[in-house]
Structure 1
Amino acid sequence: MRLEFDEGTLLVRDAPDTVPHVEWDDRVEEYRTQAYRYRTLREWAGDWSDGDDQATLSDGFTHTVEDTARNYPDLALTPTLQIEPRDYQQAALDAWRDHDRQGTVVLPTGSGKTFLGLQAIADAGVSALVVTPTIDLMNQWHATLTNAFGEQLPDGVGVLGGGSHEITDLTVTTYDSAYRYIDEYGDQFGLLVADEVHHLPAPTYLQIPEMTIAPYRLGLTATYERADGNHDRLEDRMGPVVYREAVDDLAGDFLSEYETIQMSVELTAEERTEYDEEYQLYRDYVDSHDFDLWKEQGYQEFLKRTSYDPQGRRALIAKQRAERIARTAAKKLDTLDTLLKRHHDDRVIVFTANNDFAYDISQEFILPCITHQTDTDERTEILERFRTGEYSMLATSQVLDEGIDVPAANVGIILSGSASKRQYAQRLGRILRPTDDRQPARLYEIITADTMESYVSQRRRQGVAT
C-alpha cells in the first residue's frame, strides 16, 4: 500500500478493500481520502511514525506500507527563554500529550495560550504551521516565535500572508492565506496550531485542517462554543477539548481579580418617544411572522424577507434606528464622562459596537481610537503609547475584542455590543492580564434601560465567568 499527498487529499494506491475512510476514484482507479485521515490510516496500517514499514493490517495480511505523503521534517527546538510553565499550563500540555497530541485547550484571554503553543511546538518535535485569524495576530505570533526559536532555525520563521509568501519549517499564517494555499503545503507540516480555533468551523476555513496531513494538532481559544453549534465539527478535525479553565478559576492567582458593574441609564423623553415608535414597528412585523430572532435561522429568515418585502425592509430600518437610539443615548455619554474622570489614573478601554460610534467617542472625549480602519503602523504606535502610559485611555469598536495583546489595561467600559457571549468574554479578557499593583480589574456595562440592550446584555453575560 502506498500513500501519496495529492493537492490536499491522499491517494491510497494498491490498498486492500478493508482500508477505512476512503472512496474509489474512477479517474485514477485508486482509493482517495481527505488528507487529515493520514494519521488514522497509518495507525490502521501499523506504526505511522516510522516511514516505510511492514505492518499486519486489520484484514490479517502483512503488507508493505510506503509513505510518500509525509514531506515534513523532524524539528528539535528549545525555547530560548526557559520559563517555568504555570500549573494549569503544564496540566494543559500534559492533557494534550495524553490525547496523542491532538485536541483543543480552552483558556481565558491573558492566561498564556501563546506560551502553551510554544511548549507544544517544542514538544511535538516536527515542523509546525501556526494559523491565526488576523494579520495583527500573525505578526504577534511571528515576533514571539522568532524570539523563542529564531536562532535555531536556519531559514527563520516563515510568513504566509500580509504580502509575504515564505514557507519554512516553522511558519505562521492567517486563516485566509492558509485556505488559499493549504492544498499546496498540506504535506509539509507535522503540527497544526490553530489560534482562536472557534473560527475554524467556517465552511472555507474547515478545509485547512482537512487538507493537511499533520498528525499533531492543537487548537487554542478562550471561547470554544459557537452559536451555530458548528464547534462540534472540530473534534473530528482537531481532536476533542482536552483541557479547560474558566476565568474565575484563574482570577486572583494568575489573572487579575475583577468585578463587573452594570450601570443603567434612562432615555430622555424625546429619545423614548422615538425609540418606542421605531421598536414597535419592528416588533409588529416580527410578531406577525413568528420569527425566533434568538436563533440564527430565525434571524436569517427575517433578513431574507427584508430583501423582497417592503414592510420587512421598513421593519429592519426601524430596528436599526431603535438600536442606534439606545446605543448613543445622551445619558450614556454623561455616565461615560463620569467614569473617565473616576478612572483618570487607570488604563481604560472604551468598547463600542461600530466604527462610527468609536470615532464619535474619540472626538467627544479626545481619546485615541483603534478600529478596523486603523492602519497597522498607527495601531502599533497607539498600543505602544498605551503600554508606556503616554496614553491612558483609548476607544475601539470590535477590533480589540479578540487576540490583540492589549498591554496594561485594567478598566473596560462597554458602551455597546452584541449578544455574543464570546465578545463579552473577550472584552473581559482585555483587562485581566495581571499587573504589579494587583488592583482588581473592572468591566463596566452601560445599558439603556427598557430597551433591546437589556436583553442583549443578559444573553451575553450568561455563563461567561463560571
Structure 2
Amino acid sequence: MPDITVEPDYVDEDFEAAIEEVIAAGKLVTSRRVADRVGCSRERARQYLVSQHEQDNLDRDRVGGGAVVYLPPSHELDDVRQYRSASAQSDVAPAQSQDSTGDVVPAQDQSAPEQSDDERVMFFPGRREIVVDNPTAATRSILSKTSHLIDSTGDGYLHKVSEADVWNAPYDEFETLVEDLKSVVGDDEWDGGFESRLQDDWDRAHQFRLRTHEDSYTVLQAADVDVFENVAKRKLEHNDHYTQYFGDTGMRLKAGAEADVKQRLYEEGYPVIDERRLDEGATLDVQLVDDIELRDYQQDWVDHFEARKNGVFVGPSGSGKTIGAIGALEGIGGETLILVPNRELASQWEDELLEKTNLRRSKIGQYHGGEKRIRPVTIATYDTAAMSRHRELFNEREWGLVIADECHHAVADTWKRFREIQSVARLGLSATPVRESGDAQEIYTLIGPPVGTDWGSLFADGWVEKPDVEIITVPWGSDDERESYQRTSGNRQLIEAARNSAKTDVVRSLLDRHGDAKNIIFVDWIKQGQQLAEALDLPFIYGETSHDRRDELYQQFRDGGLEALIISRVGDEGIDLPDAEVAILASTMGSSRSQTGQRAGRTMRPMGDSRVYVLLTRGSGEEDWGRESTQYLAEKGIDISKTEWSADG
C-alpha cells in the first residue's frame, strides 16, 4: 500500500501564536503566512482561520480577485479597506468621497485617523497577484514592466503578472526580472512555485526563433526537440507553412508564411523571436534639424529600439513619441513606411518630417483616399494598407522601417494584414496599447516589446502635465428620460444615458468655470453632439464634417479664435491640439480604456493646468463603464476623484 502522510494534530495555541506574530510584524493575516509559521499546510491554516471567523474571533475581508485576509475584530480594517478591489464596488474611487470643503476623505469611516503614506504590499503567488498601497516610483516602474493592472481603489492597486506580461517584459535576463519583482514583494514573501511559473513563461517566450539561412530562406528554429515535435510539427502545415525539416529542431518556412507561423505559435503559447536578416533596401539620409535634440528618455527609447530593431514606444500624449520615432528613423537610415489611422494624422506626419528633419517634400508621399504617392518615406492609412490591391505595392518595396502610429489599431483583423509587409525594423507608437477585445498582447507579437518611460517620472520631471480626472455623476434631467432609458436595452440605453438633458447644464457650468482655457467636449453619439452644439452655440466636428472644415476649425482653436469645440470619435486620434487644457467626456461608448486614455491625453502637455471631466448619468450603465474606462489612467498613477452633481451645481 502507498504511504499516507498524516498531518500532525496542531493545537489552537500554535495558530494563535502565529497570528500574533504576523500582526506584530505589521502584516495582514493570510493562510500562507500562518502556515509558514506553524509548519502546517495552507489548507489546514485556512480551515483554522475560517473556523475562527465563523466563531466571530476573527474578521475577514476580501482583496483583489478573491483573496482573503483576516484580522482580530478589535482591529481597525482601514488597511484592508485600502486594498479592497474596486471590482466589488460601484464606482472608480470607492474608498473616497468629498467633504464640505471638497477634500477627499475615506468613505467607509470619515472619522478614521489619517493613514500612513508608506508603501504596503501584499503578494498572492497562487493567483499571480500583487496588491500595493501608496506605491513608490520604483515600484510603479517595475510593475508597469512586469504586470498589468486589474483594478484600483484610490491609493491601492491590484496587479496581475500574466504569462503575456512575462513574454513582453523588457528584460534580457530572467534573473533580472526576478530580482526586480523580489524588490517589490520582499525576499521573505517570495514564492518558489511562483518563480517556477515565471520561468516556464520565460522559457516559452525563448523557445522559437526565426533566422535567415545563408541561402536566404527563413528557418524556424526550436530550442527543444520535444517542443518542436509536439508544437511546431503538429500545428504547422506542410506546404502551407513549411517545405522541409531542417535538422531535429528546425524547418524551412515557405516564402511569405512567416507572419502566419508567428501567429499560430503565439496562439499555442509560444511567442516567436524574429531574428531574420531582411533586405534593407535603399538607404535614406535623414537627420533631425539642428535645433531639435532628443530628450534623455527619448534617446533611451531610440537606443533600445536600435538594439532590437523592433518595439513599441509607450508613453502619454505629449511625451514626444513622434520625435522619438523620427530619431529611430534617423538611426535606421532606410526607406520608411508609416501607417496611421486617418488622413489628418498622415498630413501631420508630413508636416512634422518637413519641419524637424532635412527631408525635402519630394522624398515624402501620402497614400490614402485623398492621394496616392509612394516615396522613400510613405505615409499610408491602415485601411488602405490592408487592401490587397494596394498592399502588393507596399510589399514590392524593401522597407528599412515600418512605423505603426496609434498601433493598437494594428490588431484589428482587417489591419492585421499589414503584418505581411516586411521590413528590417518595426516600430509601434501608442499612449494606450489596450484593446477592449482582450487581445492587446498581440500588439507586441505583431510589432515588438514595449519600450517606454514610467509616467510618474515624466510627470515629476515636468515633461508631461499630470491631469486631474474627475468623474461627475449627473442625475436624470426628467422622469420621462429615466423611464425611456429603462424601457430600452443595449446600445439604445447608452444613447439615452448620453443624451440626458441635465448633461448640457453640467457642460455649460464647466465651460463657465474654465472660460479662459481651451476646452474640448467629446461625444460618442451624433445626436448628443448636435444637441450640445445647438444649446451651447459651438461648432461640432463629426464624420460628415469635410476635411477642409475640420482643418479650419482646428486652426481657429489653436490660434485662440475658439475656446471650445465639440468633437465626435473622429477627434480621438490624429488631431494636434497642443494647447487644450480641459477635456469634457460627455459620453462614453462602452468600457473603452483606450478611448478614455486618448481623450485625457489631449490635455497632457508640458506647462499649465490639465483637467479631465467624465460625465456619467447616475443610475445608468454609464457608471460601470466609467469605472472600467478610467482603469488605464489609474494604472499610470493618475488620481481619479468622484463627485455627484446636484441641480444647483
Shared fold per TM-score greater than 0.5: yes
Give the match for residue 437 of structure 2. 228
Structure 1 residues 244 and 71, CA, compared in 2 at 3 Å: closer, same or farther? Answer: closer
Question: Contact conserved, 1:3 with 1:13, CA < 8 A, in 2?
Answer: no
Structure 1 residues 23 and 165, CA, compared in 2 at 3 Å: closer, same or farther? Answer: same
Structure 1 residues 160 and 21, CA, compared in 2 at 3 Å: closer, same or farther? Answer: farther
Give the match for residue 628 of structure 2. 459
Give the match for residue 4 of structure 2. none
Q: How far does residue 36 in structure 1 lie from its aligned partner after superposition?
A: 9.4
SS in 2 for 1:380: helix
Structure 1 residues 321 and 236, CA, compared in 2 at 3 Å: closer, same or farther? Answer: closer
Give the match for residue 401 of structure 1. 572
Give the match for residue 333 of structure 2. 125
Matches within 5 A, 1:309-458: 317-418=488-589, 419-434=591-606, 438-458=607-627
Q: CA RMSD for the aligned pairs?
A: 3.1
Question: Contact conserved, 2:583 with 2:611, CA < 8 A, in 1?
Answer: yes
Give the match for residue 250 of structure 1. 459
Residues 148-167 of structure 1, C-alpha deviation per residue, up to 9 Å, x if partnerless?
345457x4202211332221
Question: Contact conserved, 1:22 with 1:33, CA < 8 A, in 2?
Answer: no
Matches within 5 A, 1:106-145: 106-145=314-353
Q: How far does residue 414 in structure 1 lie from its aligned partner after superposition?
A: 1.3
Give the match for residue 84 of structure 1. 293
Question: Contact conserved, 1:21 with 1:33, CA < 8 A, in 2?
Answer: no
Question: Contact conserved, 2:336 with 2:378, CA < 8 A, in 1?
Answer: yes
Q: TM-score, normalised by structure 1?
A: 0.75
Structure 1 residues 458 and 88, CA, compared in 2 at 3 Å: closer, same or farther? Answer: same
Give the match for residue 470 of structure 2. 261
Give the match for residue 447 of structure 2. 238
CA distance in 1, matches of 2:605, 2:630: 20
Structure 1 residues 21 and 202, CA, compared in 2 at 3 Å: closer, same or farther? Answer: farther
CA distance in 1, matches of 2:251, 2:527: 50
Give the match for residue 195 of structure 1. 405
CA distance in 2, matches of 1:177, 1:273: 43
Identity of aligned residues (%): 28
Give the match for residue 356 of structure 2. 148
Structure number with bigger Rg? 2
CA distance in 2, matches of 1:163, 1:34: 32
1:34 aligns with 2:258: yes
- Give, as a single letter, the amino acid of the residue that structure 2 aligns with 1:264: T
SS in 1 for 2:570: coil
Q: TM-score, normalised by structure 2?
A: 0.55
Question: Contact conserved, 2:364 with 2:375, CA < 8 A, in 1?
Answer: yes
Q: How far does residue 179 in structure 1 lie from its aligned partner after superposition?
A: 1.8
SS in 1 for 2:550: helix
Give the match for residue 298 of structure 1. none
Residues 359-387 of structure 1, C-alpha deviation per residue, up to 9 Å, x if partnerless?
21111111122112211111111011101
Residues 247-299 of structure 1, C-alpha deviation per residue, up to 9 Å, x if partnerless?
77436601224211222221145236514642xxxxxxxxxxxxxxxxxxxxx
CA distance in 2, matches of 1:32, 1:396: 42
CA distance in 2, matches of 1:237, 1:439: 37
Q: How far does residue 239 in structure 1 lie from its aligned partner after superposition?
A: 1.6
Give the match for residue 312 of structure 1. none
CA distance in 2, matches of 1:268, 1:357: 14
Q: Which runs of 5+ in 2 are unaligned?
A: 1-213, 219-239, 263-271, 637-649
